[in-house]
Amino acid sequence: MTGLFRLSRIVKVLFSERIDAFLPAPKSGPLKLIAWCIPKVRTKKARGERLRDALQTLGPVFVKFGQMLSTRRDLLPPDIAGALADLQDRVKPFSGDAAQAIIERDLQSPVMDIFSTFSVTPMASASVAQVHAATLHDGREVVVKVIRPGIEKVIEEDLKLMMTLARFVEKNFEDGKRLKLVQVVSDYRMTILDELDLQREAANTALIRRNFEGSTICYVPEIYWDYTRRNVMVEERVYGVPISQVDVLKAHHVNMEKLAERGVEIFFTQVFDHSFFHADMHPGNVFIDITDPENPVYKAIDFGIVGTLDPESQSYLAQNLIAFFDRDYRAVAELHVESGWVPADTRIGDFESAIRTVCEPIFQKPLGEISFGVLLVRLFETARRFHMEVQPQLVLLQKTLLNIEGLGRELYPELDLWKTGKPFLDRWVKDRLGPKGLLRSARRQGPRWVMYLPKLTDALLSSPERLNRLERIAEHNQSSLQQIAKTVRANEHSRRWSLALGIAGLTAAGLGGVMAPAALLAYWPIGLAIFSVALILRR
């Protein structure tokens, strides 16, 4: 009954915001009748704003879903995606006393035994968790992140309803399959369930902190593992100006060009050097240390969503981007085929022409006039026309690029993304695929090769004996096959004779009946007897 009540509330909110107005037309007559009967509520709000407001009304799970949808510009019209991008990571907080109870339950200790100070009022409240300020007994300032109480049950129920609605739309509305809502909900399920485990987020944070250890352009807070559990995470508190406060940054004379360039450098470093990147870099998760305005430092938080690239995808992606920068569209098309992203039978010339049509207009323009994120979206759309399979790691990468591009536009619209990114990629390819890179790879793989060397040696030394054994088996099998072939031929010979005898017998019986009705009684037993012998011989 709870599920039905929740579903009725969802439907009520969606129809109150007239979300049905921009769904595809229903296929069936009954659905068209229902749609006709729905009262037409007048509103001056655009459809994207109506969807955004509906998701906010429905609660945290739907807010997070709207944020994710806003990155799928390949699936949504620009006006809807743009409105959804306005969704903030702030929702109504839950009780500070409830947060304290969760902390004490998970850490099995009173809050004041763990912290010397603890603020019951949350600093911020997001879709699945909120954070509180605290101080450890040794004086270190920390933030305590706490999962919303009961959120997992709510998420499971809402995800089931989302999937039901997605399947309903795909089945009953024109072009419903084109929206791929079932796939979107499935991807969202994996993402949000991962975010419910704060130990996973803590591990992600620790790895990225280690990757940027000693960096002068990016700082990641320390995790305090003694106080971290599935529902509670304690990390170092960092201070800085939110990157969204561009006016404040400019007022402090921060070098905006360098700040934008460092953002691009951090992104490429994570993707290509670390192969592990922050996939949720919206403005709420990035702060800037402006102690030295000429050398601003990024401070990143909230690593619940991360992406990885395997070495093969990493290499193909780097070579693809370099080919883009060089406008070598033939190489781009060939790399897509070589990587397996599009089928091997793709016509390279047609694919090259389609890519050129998408990419050529955007080059030699500053970032303020082009959209690299939209370029990738259009490129993926083009590749899908050539049956490109969905690459989850590329979807996360695309989402991150959209975030990075949004930051770049705000910070320094004149930034030349190509000029900033290409030297990094050239260095990476030379470093990884050149002689030094191959030598490092050999050193890294050396211990594994040494481990497998005895097995390889045994295999090589025993290969003549194995070949002799295989030859003997082959000779034996050849003899057996010849014997089987003889038997088959003999059986086939017998079958032919038995079939001929059977036909002859039945023919004789039939002719006897035709020639003289009185002879039928004489000929039928003979024919049946011959046919019976034939059946026995066939066995």
Q: Is position 193 within any domain? A: no
On whether both 252 and 349 belong to a single domain, the answer is yes
Please give the angle made by the CA atoms of 465, 471 and 477, to the nearest 5 degrees: 140
Q: What is the pLDDT of residue 533?
A: 45
- H/E stretch holding 311: helix 311-325
- Both 474 and 379 in one domain: the answer is no
Q: Please report where in the chains the tokens 């993926």 appear, as a residue.
A: 380
pLDDT tens digits for 41-54? 556 778 888 888 88
| SS3 label, residue 295 | coil
With respect to residue 482, please indicate whether it lies within any of the assigned structural domains: yes
Q: What is the number of structural domains in the chain?
A: 2
List residues bridging with 209 in a β-sheet.
none
Does any domain span residue 34?
A: no
Would 167 be classed as within a structural domain?
Answer: no
288 is in which domain, residue-wise? Answer: 245-444
Task: Please say whether the dihedral angle defined by the alpha carbons of residues 270, 272, 275 and 281, taken in this order, is positive or negative.
Answer: positive
In a domain? residue 29: no
Is 519 strand, coil or helix?
A: helix
Q: Which of 374, 409, 444 is the last residue of a domain?
A: 444
421 and 496 assigned to the same domain? no
More confident residue, 407 or 41: 407
468 and 326 both lie in a single domain: no
- Name the band, by pLDDT with cuts 50, 70 and 90, for residue 355: confident
Q: Do β-strands 218-219 and 297-300 pair in parallel, antiparallel, or remain unpaired?
A: parallel
User: Which of 442 and 212 is assigned the larger pLDDT?
Assistant: 212
pLDDT number for residue 508: 46
The CA distance from 15 to 41, in Å, is: 9
Answer yes or no: do 332 and 376 share one domain.
Answer: yes
- Let me know if residue 342 belongs to a domain: yes
User: Do 309 and 378 fall within a single domain?
Assistant: yes
Same domain as 438, residue 504:
no
Q: What tens digit of pLDDT does each residue of 316-338 get?
A: 888 887 887 778 889 989 988 88
Which whole-number Å values give the CA distances from 262 to 281, 288, 368, 373, 433, in the listed order? 14, 11, 17, 18, 25
Query: Is residue 11 scored above 60 in pLDDT?
Result: yes
Please give the pLDDT value at position 536. 45
d(CA 307, CA 321): 18
Domain boundary, last residue among 412, 444, 476: 444
d(CA 490, CA 486): 6
Instruction: Judge if 258 and 368 occupy the same domain.
Output: yes
Residue ending a domain, choose from 381, 411, 444: 444
Instruction: Judge whether 471 lies within some domain.
Output: yes
Backbone dihedral angles phi then psi of residue 45, each to the nearest 5 degrees:
-75, 145
527 and 414 in a common domain: no
Tens digit of each residue's pLDDT (9 = 90 or more) over 194-211: 888 999 999 999 999 999
Identify the pLDDT of residue 97.
93
pLDDT in tens, 225-243: 999 999 999 999 999 999 8
Whether residues 402 and 313 share a domain: the answer is yes
pLDDT of residue 147: 94
Note the pLDDT tens digit of each residue in 107-156: 999 999 999 999 999 998 877 899 999 999 999 999 999 999 988 887 88
428 and 362 within one domain = yes
Catalytic residues: 280
pTM: 0.68
- Burial class from Cβ neighbours inside 10 Å (0-12, 13-18, 19+) for residue 493 reads exposed
Is residue 149 within 8 A of residue 102, CB to CB? The reply is yes
Distances from the Cα of 16 to the Cαs of 87, 187, 523, in angstroms?
19, 28, 89
Q: Calculate mean pLDDT across residues 329-349.
A: 87
Report if residue 255 sits inside a domain.
yes
Give yes or no: residues 501 and 397 share one domain. no
Give the tens place of pLDDT for each residue, 80-109.
877 787 775 556 788 999 999 999 999 999
